[in-house]
């Protein structure tokens, strides 16, 4: 994020004495990426941000993965993973179940109605897509309200907690956890970081915190997910429960270009063409070795003979994960895919529409569909929730039968 923001009170000159009304100094913290060589923000705390009084092991949920072997496309029904009757006691952090993962990114799913503990992910940025629900995310930078269709972007090591508003529906959250940073694609940005005219969204669509939270408290526990030599079953990811002497949300002000924000999928302006446009026009974010795209409701191809559904494609360098969240996905008709489904189409295998969908799409001028796609450049493995949610038989739906 190269988009400057200032919230609350900051001193006129950085790295100089900044005091409260009683004359006490505030404690300045620089939160910065890539070793002082990329985006950063300066935060001003009432308490010392490094003052911990305890550090204990946090037992992480199951993070082991199994290879997609023998290789095949898969259909995972995420809505089968949680019983809505039980989710009032599930929180959006500890309740996440690992669906797919590799050394660059992990995709988890949770249906939650409970407030999460304070938490930060010290491994990479998180991009949480809100399939359904509303609530708040409180962070050291201030609060973000979230609603259905939001991507909630939380920079690495940002202390925060989730507060689902479960009064109507629980929050269905699709968490994309990177081992890197997640940002708008570089090709959407000028060399100084402003969104260019060809980008399908711009700065007006990004919503950051508006004011400091200024919470008092002591002995506050924060769950920290971090790199480590944890159990082999956790793929080298470890958890620690730190206790802070003072509340981490004691910031009176901050400024800079690094902060959490939301972006709603309805604010993505689809790019369409006379014939089929390739997936990069649907891209919304990128991380190291993966991209995030969204397929939004849109007018489609206007050549009289165009075939609006995709051609069959071997994206030889990536695994493709589609999460179907709204409408009626044209290319998957006849496959059993529905809202809440994931399709995993791995590298090394050509995929495309179900055969009847090709003819049926000719002449159609509008697709009412909404899907979030993650393409990874390393193969994805199945987490415990991926294995538990699998609908067997999907691999044979193009042929209309399995092995004799
Ligand atoms: Fe594809």
- Output the CA torsion 67→71→72→78 (10° steps): 0
DSSP letters along 112-151, please?
A: E-SPPPEEEESSS-EEEEEEE--EEEEETTEEEEE-TTEE
Q: How many residues does the chain have?
A: 404
Residues whose CB falls within 8 Å of the CB of residue 366, separated by 6 or more in sequence, listed in order: 297, 298, 299, 300
Does the structure show a pLDDT above 70 at 122? yes
In the prediction, which pLDDT does 2 show? 65
Query: Looking at residues 284-309, what average pLDDT do you find?
Result: 96
Render pLDDT for 72-102 as a digit per residue (tens, 0 to 9): 999 999 999 999 889 999 999 999 999 999 9
244 touches 45 (CB < 8 A) = no
Q: Residue 48 half-sphere exposure, CB side, CA atoms within 13 Å?
A: 6
- Given a cut of 70, whether residue 375 has pLDDT beyond it is yes
CA distances from 394 to 178, 289, 357, 361, 387 (A): 28, 27, 16, 21, 14
Q: Is the dihedral of CA 193, 198, 201, 203 positive or negative?
A: positive
CA of 352 to the centre of ligand 1 (A): 6
3-state secondary structure of 362: coil
3-state secondary structure of 89: helix
289 DSSP β-pair partners: none
Q: How far is the CA of 301 from the centre of ligand 1 (A)?
A: 17
- What pLDDT, on a 0 to 100 scale, did the predictor assign at position 236? 87
Q: Report the mean per-residue pLDDT for the chain.
A: 95
Could you tell me the two tokens for 236?
């080298």
pLDDT exceeds 90 at position 234: no
Cα separation, 90 vs 112, whole angstroms: 5
Report the pLDDT averaged over residues 199-206.
98
What φ, ψ does residue 385 adopt, rounded to 5°? -75, -35
Ligand 1 centroid distance, CA of 135 (Å): 33
pLDDT higher than threshold 70 for residue 230 = no
The helix, strand and coil proportions of the chain, stated in percent and rounded to the nearest 5, come to: 10, 40, 50
What's the gap in Å between 332 CA and the centre of ligand 1? 11
Helix (H, G, I), strand (E, B) or coil at 298: strand
Q: How many CB atoms lie within 10 A of CB 21?
A: 5
Q: In whole angstroms, what is the distance from residue 400 CA to residue 29 CA?
A: 60
pLDDT one-digit tens code per residue, 303-338: 999 999 999 999 899 999 999 999 987 777 778 899
Model confidence, pTM: 0.97
- Please choose, from the candidates 372, 206, 366, the residue with its C-alpha nearest in 3D space to the C-alpha of residue 283: 372
Task: Report pLDDT for 168.
Answer: 85
- Decide: 169 and 133 in contact? Cβ < 8 Å: yes
Ligand 1 centroid – CA 373 distance (Å): 9
CB-based contact 230:220 (threshold 8 Å):
no
Rounded to the nearest angstrom, the distance between the alpha carbon of 16 and the centre of ligand 1 is 53
Cβ within 8 Å of residue 363, ≥6 positions away: none
Instruction: Tell me the CA–centroid distance for residue 364 and ligand 1, in Å.
Output: 20
DSSP structure class, residue 395 = G
Q: Strands 369-376, 319-327: parallel, antiparallel or unpaired by DSSP?
A: antiparallel
Q: For residue 313, how far is its CA from the centre of ligand 1 (angstroms)?
A: 6
Give me the pLDDT at residue 1, please.
Answer: 60
Using the Cα atoms of residue 159, residue 183, residue 153 and residue 64 in order, give the sign of their dihedral.
negative
pLDDT score at 274: 96
Helix (H) or strand (E) run with residue 384 in it: helix 384-388
- Across the range 191-199, mean pLDDT stands at 96
In the prediction, which pLDDT does 142 show?
Answer: 98
DSSP 163-175: EE-TTSS-EEEEE
Tell me the pLDDT tens digit for each residue of 239-281: 999 999 999 999 999 999 999 999 999 999 999 999 999 999 9
Select from 135, 200, 208, 125 the least CA-distant residue to 170: 135
Expressed in angstroms and rounded, the spacing between residue 351 Cα and the centre of ligand 1 is 6
198 Cα to the center of ligand 1, angstroms: 23
Give percent of the chain with pLDDT exceeding 70.
99
> For 48-80, how does the pLDDT look when each residue is reduced to its tens digit (9 = 90+)?
999 999 999 999 999 999 999 999 999 999 999
| Ligand 1 center from residue 191 Cα (angstroms) | 30
pLDDT band, very low/low/confident/very high, at 167 (cuts 50, 70, 90): confident
- The answer to whether the CB of 250 falls within 8 A of the CB of 44 is no
What local confidence, expressed as pLDDT, does residue 165 receive? 96
């Amino acid at each position: 994020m190269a988009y400057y923001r200032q919230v609350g009170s900051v001193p006129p000159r950085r790295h100089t004495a900044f005091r409260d009304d009683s004359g006490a100094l505030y404690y300045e913290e620089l939160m910065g990426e890539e070793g002082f060589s990329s985006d950063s923000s300066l935060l001003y705390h009432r308490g010392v941000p490094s003052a911990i009084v305890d550090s204990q092991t946090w037992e992480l949920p199951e993070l082991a993965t199994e290879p997609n072997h023998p290789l095949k496309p898969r259909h995972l029904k995420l809505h089968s993973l949680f019983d809505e009757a039980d989710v009032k006691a599930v929180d959006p952090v500890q309740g996440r179940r690992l669906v797919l993962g590799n050394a660059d990114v992990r995709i988890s799913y949770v249906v939650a109605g409970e407030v999460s503990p304070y938490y930060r992910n010290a491994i990479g940025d998180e991009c949480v897509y809100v399939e359904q629900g509303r609530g708040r995310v409180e962070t050291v930078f201030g609060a973000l309200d979230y609603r259905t269709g939001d991507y909630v972007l939380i920079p690495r090591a940002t202390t925060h907690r989730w507060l689902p508003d479960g009064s109507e529906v629980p929050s269905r959250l699709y968490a994309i956890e990177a081992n890197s940073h997640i940002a708008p694609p570089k090709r959407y940005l000028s060399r100084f970081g402003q969104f260019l005219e060809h980008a399908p969204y711009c700065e007006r669509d990004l919503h950051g915190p508006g004011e400091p939270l200024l919470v008092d408290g002591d002995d506050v526990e924060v769950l920290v997910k971090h790199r480590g030599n944890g159990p082999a079953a956790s793929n080298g990811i470890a958890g620690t429960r730190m206790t802070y002497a003072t509340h981490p949300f004691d910031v009176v002000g901050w400024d800079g270009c690094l902060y959490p924000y939301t972006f709603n999928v309805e604010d993505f302006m689809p790019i369409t063409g006379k014939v089929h446009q390739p997936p990069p026009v649907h891209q919304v974010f990128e991380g190291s070795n993966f991209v995030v795209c969204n397929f939004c409701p849109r007018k489609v191809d206007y050549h009289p003979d165009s075939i609006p559904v995709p051609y069959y494609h071997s994206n030889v360098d990536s695994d493709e994960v589609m999460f179907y969240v709204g409408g009626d996905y044209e290319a998957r008709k006849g496959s059993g895919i529905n809202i809440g489904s994931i399709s995993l189409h791995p590298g090394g295998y050509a995929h495309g529409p179900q055969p009847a969908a090709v003819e049926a799409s000719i002449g159609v001028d509008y697709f009412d569909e909404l899907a979030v796609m993650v393409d990874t450049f390393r193969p994805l493995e199945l987490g415990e929730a991926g294995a538990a949610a699998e609908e067997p038989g999907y691999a044979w739906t193009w042929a209309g039968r399995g092995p004799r």
